């Protein structure tokens, strides 16, 4: 039997170890940070661009794969709910903890136990930890933006964290 046939119901799922994915993300961010030339004064725009672009492509591909048999979404709120429930569950084995909107194109997604931050710490802690964790949210920002773009919702996604492992993603829908 050919496992590449789309119509076969006996296709075994392709699974990747969660630990391998966590370690891959850590190594990917570290490699991009080490190999990307940035300004000496701490301007990390080039690192942000690379990580966010990588995430964008991953987000597009994830949506392409996981929505191929789904009906089209009715409105933007349905798309964001899909990101919060279905995509987040696929990526992190849980839903977003909190979704807020101002009904004017701004959505705030809060994850109180962001998986990729669960094992992070620094010697100093607090604000130092949050600052060092920022490159690790640029990739998921790109994933969210790429997923939304693939679903026909152009957006700008920014993230902030002040208390690990909590992370907040703000989505601004582009008009």
Query: What is the token pair recorded at 124?
Result: 């100093």
Query: What is the token pair recorded at 157?
Result: 């996604």
Q: Taking a C-beta distance cutoff of 8 angstroms, is the pair 59, 147 a contact?
A: yes
pLDDT along the chain (175 residues), means of 10: 52 74 86 79 81 96 91 92 94 93 94 84 69 89 96 95 90 91
Residue 101 DSSP code: E
Write out pLDDT tens, residues 117-138.
877 766 666 677 778 888 999 9
Confidence (pLDDT) at 3: 47
Helices (H) and strands (E) in the chain, counts: 6, 4
Residue (of 45, 70, 76) closest to 171 by Cα position: 76
Strand (E) or helix (H) holding 89:
helix 88-92
Confidence (pLDDT) at 121: 64
The CATH superfamily holding the domain 16-67+76-171 is Trafficking protein particle complex subunit 3 (3.30.1380.20)
Q: Where are the domains of the chain?
A: 16-67+76-171
Query: What is the token pair recorded at 18?
Result: 């969660």
Q: Reduced to 3 states, what is the DSSP secondary structure of residue 20?
A: helix
Does this model's pTM top 0.75? My answer is yes
Confidence (pLDDT) at 1: 42
Q: Which pairs with CB-CB distance under 8 Å and at least 24 residues apart come from 103-108?
A: 105/76, 105/172, 105/173, 105/175, 106/170, 106/171, 106/172, 106/173, 107/80, 107/170, 107/171, 107/173, 108/168, 108/169, 108/170, 108/171
């Amino acid at each position: 039997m050919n496992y590449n046939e789309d119509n076969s119901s006996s296709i075994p799922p392709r699974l990747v170890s969660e630990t391998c994915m966590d370690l891959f993300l850590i190594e990917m961010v570290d490699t991009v940070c080490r190999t990307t030339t940035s300004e000496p004064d701490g301007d990390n725009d080039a690192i942000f661009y690379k990580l966010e672009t990588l995430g964008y492509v991953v987000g597009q591909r994830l949506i392409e794969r996981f929505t191929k048999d789904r009906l089209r979404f009715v409105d933007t709120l349905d798309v964001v709910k899909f990101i919060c429930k279905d995509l987040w569950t696929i990526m992190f084995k849980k839903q977003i903890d909190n979704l807020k909107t101002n009904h004017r194109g701004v959505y705030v997604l809060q994850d109180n136990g962001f998986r990729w931050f669960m094992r992070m710490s620094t010697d100093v802690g607090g604000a130092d930890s949050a600052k060092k964790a920022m490159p690790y949210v640029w990739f998921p920002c790109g994933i969210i933006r790429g997923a939304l773009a693939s679903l026909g919702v152009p957006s700008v996604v920014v993230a902030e964290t002040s208390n690990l492992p909590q992370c907040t993603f703000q989505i601004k829908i582009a008009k």
